[in-house]
Chain A
């Protein structure tokens, strides 16, 4: 069974949309125009305008000369993309794989779908008539390949449904433009008198490549089905997804809880079987009034423990507004990673960072209070105190270098060094007394200085001369003087930390 595609061509996509919004425009010639190089250029024209010889690409002034009563509307930027996306989503009722084909088409992969409508002809007729009811002028065709369907939809004269494996016969009488070629290639083919696909399809491939480039061969192969072409679907199917429709709309938290438990059970069973664990998951609740409520969670390490995941979701259930009721729950695992099956330790007194329970605890904390509250630090190769440690990217990361203990470091450090008043003998003796927060401290013992240079490749500024001092009450501080003594400017002393 070959794959089957529908190509839908909206012949007057933008003007049809304008008519849908302003029905009085149906009978009058009008165009959409956008500024281009200082003049207004026509980007779309409706059928009455085209009947009077107006086409896209003309200047508005020229068109006005032809039809004085012509109405000109401003083009809405990005409109066709937006319309096609909306229409593509609507087409998901016919097939799960719908893709847009800018500027004016849709591609649907209908393999195995059409029998639900009683065959391909009624299926195609249904799509066409519904789209026509919306007011869109469409042509559509079914073929084995996207290229053939595209060609028949736009240039075919005989039948819109190409039977399986017969695309070549249907392509032969069509013009080369049906192969989606570049304008230069088309022009060259035209100059050589090749007005039909059939007139060059049997030429030697090397000759075609030499004269028209690889592009022509590729398009030909795609149309004939010798080279696969895969459309990019609008709605990417999540590989790990569970759905739970509910007969009656669900409005209570208990109901949501039960639904979530069932979904997680099913998803985790599948993940467990495949030795996968989820890192990010999203619960979508489709309400009866077409609103979608979403909550998402993340974990520190891949997990397929449904009880743990339920706890993470549980913290967010209160954020779901059920409104008039939820009729469909969808649980998607947007990020899934392989889970390393850890060997269970038989008996350990204290856990370590590989412990699943610790990771789950941290997930719960971040889930409840907010992201970015969990920090773990590794040593960094800097002398500058604020940079001597760095945030660890994960819980499992082990330090690459040893923590330094050869220098005294205070157990508590101020986030910002605080300015203090000091009397100290020059040139570089420790202070005799200093005042911090209004209290006078007489220094009895001191050690230093330990000079720490600022890393000039990272930032500019003066170095610091650190002193460990102890006052008469036994309180120990870490003070520093910023830079050298200078005649012009007063020297600055700071307190940076407290020793134990």
Chain B
């Protein structure tokens, strides 16, 4: 029996989420994707696993930032030797770099197809297989119908799916639970250290079902995400210097 006001409100929020069709993740305490600072945005304060997430990127640099952010999440999902199927129509991922984001590259199975149609079919088949930690699809266009098929597949298997749409013609509506857009940020270096710093991104959550969209500034080091403090005075840029 809830006693305090806060408990009552929390319980009510949970009930509302259920009514809105949000299935709570079964073992939600076990899955932590390391997006601690973004917790407020997610329904129930938990990163929705077992759903389809959509990531949008326009330029090649955005695609790299998106891949990095995605790899960070995957690294958390693929703990305990889970494996990931990475389906792409035009693969540019450099496998050895995945290790920087906490993924063992040999735990990723790449499937290279030539058409979006094949990629979607392969993704649907992969999402039906509940022996996987995650499925990533890199493609250009996904129709509403196709996204619904993917959603139906994950509802059975509870596998988390990521659709990385690179240079889509237009942002059509999909059934995906979230839509992310990641762009690179100028990295910050402490104490006038030379060279580029840790990967830094502006993470925009454009759409979040039963959640609160928003924008955050994140960086990745020590194998996890960190939020970049807002009030940071821009450091004077280090002069170009030869190192090594």
Chain A positions near chain B (C-beta within 8 angstroms): 348-353, 355, 357-358, 360-362, 364-365, 368-369, 373-379, 385, 388-389, 392, 395, 398-399, 403-405, 408-415, 428-430, 432, 443-450, 468-470, 472-477, 497-500
Complex Cα distance, B184 from A472, in Å, reads 11
Residues of A within 8 A of B69 (CB): 500
User: Contact residue range for chain B?
Assistant: 35 or more
Residues of B within 8 A of A473 (CB): 61, 184, 186
Q: Is the CB of A475 within 8 A of B184?
A: yes
Please indicate which of the listed interface residues B27, B69, B125, B242 has the most CB atoms of chain A within 10 Å of its own CB. Answer: B242
Q: Give 13 pairs: A residue, B residue, CB < 8 Å, sorted on A.
A: A349-B80, A362-B109, A365-B126, A376-B108, A403-B105, A403-B106, A411-B71, A444-B186, A444-B237, A445-B237, A447-B243, A476-B184, A476-B199
Q: Is B111 an interface residue (CB 8 A)?
A: yes
Q: Is B129 an interface residue (CB 8 A)?
A: yes
Residues of A within 8 A of B67 (CB): 411-412, 500
**Known contacts A350-B131, A352-B81, A365-B122; 16 further A-B pairs (Cβ under 8 A):** A369-B113, A377-B106, A399-B106, A403-B96, A412-B60, A445-B187, A445-B194, A445-B238, A468-B196, A472-B186, A473-B186, A474-B186, A476-B64, A476-B184, A499-B64, A499-B196
Q: Of A364, A395, A409, A468, which is within 8 A of B97 by CB?
A: A409
Residues of A within 8 A of B129 (CB): 357-358, 360-361
Q: Is B200 an interface residue (CB 8 A)?
A: yes
Residues of A within 8 A of B98 (CB): 411
Residues of A within 8 A of B80 (CB): 348-350
Known A373-B112, A375-B109, A389-B105: A350·B185 in contact at CB below 8 Å: no
Q: Is B92 an interface residue (CB 8 A)?
A: yes
Q: Is the CB of B110 within 8 A of A376?
A: yes
Residues of B within 8 A of A443 (CB): 240
Residues of B within 8 A of A352 (CB): 81-83
Residues of A within 8 A of B32 (CB): none
Q: Of A351, A404, A412, A477, which is within 8 A of B131 by CB?
A: A351
Q: Of A349, A358, A362, A414, which is within 8 A of B27 by CB?
A: A349
Chain B, 174-197, contact with A by CB distance < 8 Å: what is the 0/1 string?
A: 000000000011110100001111
Q: Is B8 an interface residue (CB 8 A)?
A: no
Complex Cα distance, B126 from A404, in Å, reads 29
Q: Is the CB of B240 within 8 A of A432?
A: yes
Please indicate which of the listed interface residues B81, B187, B240 has the most CB atoms of chain A within 10 Å of its own CB. Answer: B240
Complex Cα distance, B69 from A375, in Å, reads 22
Q: Of B94, B109, B121, B244, which is within 8 A of A376 by CB?
A: B109
Q: Is B93 an interface residue (CB 8 A)?
A: yes
Chain B, 74-92, contact with A by CB distance < 8 Å: what is the 0/1 string?
A: 0001111111010000001
Chain A residue with Cβ nearest B97: A409
- Closest CB-CB distance, B239 to chain A, in whole Å? 10
Q: Is the CB of A470 within 8 A of B186?
A: yes
Q: Is B68 an interface residue (CB 8 A)?
A: yes
Q: Is the CB of B82 within 8 A of A470?
A: no
- Closest CB-CB distance, A87 to chain B, in whole Å? 48
Chain B residue with Cβ nearest A447: B195
Residues of A within 8 A of B187 (CB): 445, 470, 474, 476
Q: Is the CB of B63 within 8 A of A498?
A: yes
Complex Cα distance, B125 from A375, in Å, reads 17
Complex Cα distance, B131 from A355, in Å, reads 7
Complex Cα distance, B244 from A399, in Å, reads 31
Known A379-B96, A446-B196, A469-B196: A350·B78 in contact at CB below 8 Å: yes
Chain B residue with Cβ nearest A361: B129
Residues of B within 8 A of A369 (CB): 113, 118, 121-122
Q: Is the CB of B83 within 8 A of A351?
A: yes
Chain A residue with Cβ nearest B103: A403
Residues of A within 8 A of B240 (CB): 429-430, 432, 443, 446
Residues of A within 8 A of B110 (CB): 374-377
- Closest CB-CB distance, A285 to chain B, in whole Å? 27
Complex Cα distance, B196 from A408, in Å, reads 10
Chain A residue with Cβ nearest B99: A403
- Closest CB-CB distance, B59 to chain A, in whole Å? 8
Residues of B within 8 A of A350 (CB): 77-83, 131-133
Contact residues, B41-83 vs A (CB, 8 A)? 60-61, 63-65, 67-69, 71, 77-83
Chain A residue with Cβ nearest B194: A447
Q: Is the CB of A351 within 8 A of B82?
A: yes
Q: Is the CB of A410 within 8 A of B94?
A: yes
